[in-house]
Amino acid sequence: MAGLQRSRLFWLITFLVPAIAVGLFWGLGFDGEITGFFRIGSEFPHSPYLNLNTARIVPGEVGHDGQQFLSIALDPGLQNPGTIEALDLPAYRYRRIFYPLLGYLLAFGQRFLIPYTLVFLNYVAIVAIVLLGSAFLEHQGNNPNHSLWLLGIPGFWISLSLGTAELVSSALLLGSLYCYQQRRFTLTSILLMGGCLTRETLLIMGVAIGVTGLWERLKTKELLTLWSAGLPILLWSVYVEKALGSGLQQAASNNLGFPLGGLLVKISTSISLANFSIEKLYDLYNFSLILLAFSLLLFIHWKTLGNNKIISLCSAVLTTTFACLTPTVLGYYADYVRTFSDVYILLVLSTPLAFSLNQQTPWMGWVYRGLVSFGLPIASVGIWLSVSIP
């Protein structure tokens, strides 16, 4: 496998598919209005820098996370009091500064450009995820073209259509995993720093990477380099709490609860025939896919424990977090599918381990290929259609 090269079709698909998605969402789904990517609702205060005459406002909705990121990007220093009023949980939202700040800097502070730069960042993140995944697989002696399976992840297209930060976060996580694989620990730490400032939940992945270093008995200097990745988000959190107060407790209680409690509630409501609809069926399909993905991931790394320590530990902490989700998060597929896209990334990175189990468990290859080659792309088509044909 080591001699396999990326085909010309690989490069075409990697750059073209996300571009087509942007074009379809923008042109058909949002009627050519760039602010459509941020799902701005009419029922919550808007950024004082948002042009309400041209912005695409969804009537009767409070908006989505993308609206919050856009508000911060338009005023990353919170200079206008109206910006804080436009944030539902200011202390919680402002911790996730990296993605909106990048959008502001890329636009050179020109506010009319910021919606475009945020969408561009998400496009670049999708491309980067595929390229980094390809490099990771190639380093393991696997077919680098298999990273195209990553384009089937439905959460990518949900995040793109909502203007949220998961894509940038996943790209930074994958970059840190690749750099760790290359033993470039300083760059690993820097990418993790950016990832934690994009989504503070990435801190648990940073812990997994740090524990991997302990497991592999790295030198003290290398371990300190890895563990220093958590320092910026801790310092930033202290500053935010002093400036805006604490908001993590409320956010945490909304998102995390008793282990398996939320999953059991989700399973019981999913199999109920009450209030049946196409949307409920699609939600059940996505929930089944993500349960299958976590199950496969745990099975693969249980059978091959020690062969890829960093992916095994990241899989373990991500599964633990998923098991603690509340019914609130699991209630709507667009929430849990996009926030746990990393499970599919880790699964694709586990391709060599999955294929190594073919002789021992012949069904593994069929189930694995069925999920990444058909199950996920079908779910993604559903997202493309729902956004492009509102």
Residue 246 has pLDDT above 90, yes or no: no
Q: Average pLDDT for residues 377-383, to the nearest whole number?
A: 95
User: Which pLDDT score is estimated for 361?
Assistant: 85
Q: What angle do CA 139, 145, 148 make, to 5 degrees?
A: 115
Q: How far apart are CA 40 and CA 86, in angstroms?
A: 11
Q: pLDDT of 10-60, one tens digit each?
A: 999 999 999 999 999 999 999 999 999 999 998 889 999 999 989 999 988
The mean predicted confidence, pLDDT, of the chain is 91
Q: pLDDT of 185-198, one tens digit each?
A: 999 999 999 999 99
User: Which pLDDT score is estimated for 273?
Assistant: 67
pLDDT > 90: what percent of the chain? 71
Q: pLDDT of 251-260, one tens digit each?
A: 666 778 888 8
Confidence of residue 1 (pLDDT cuts 50, 70, 90): very low
Q: pLDDT of 298-330, one tens digit each?
A: 999 999 888 889 999 999 999 999 999 998 888
Confidence of residue 64 (pLDDT cuts 50, 70, 90): confident
Q: Average pLDDT for residues 69-83, to the nearest whole number?
A: 95
Residue 2 has pLDDT above 50, yes or no: no
User: Which pLDDT score is estimated for 348?
Assistant: 96
Residue 245 has pLDDT above 90, yes or no: no
Residue 359 has pLDDT above 90, yes or no: no
Among 70-79, 142-151, 322-331, 343-352, which is the least confidently predicted range?
322-331
Confidence of residue 362 (pLDDT cuts 50, 70, 90): confident
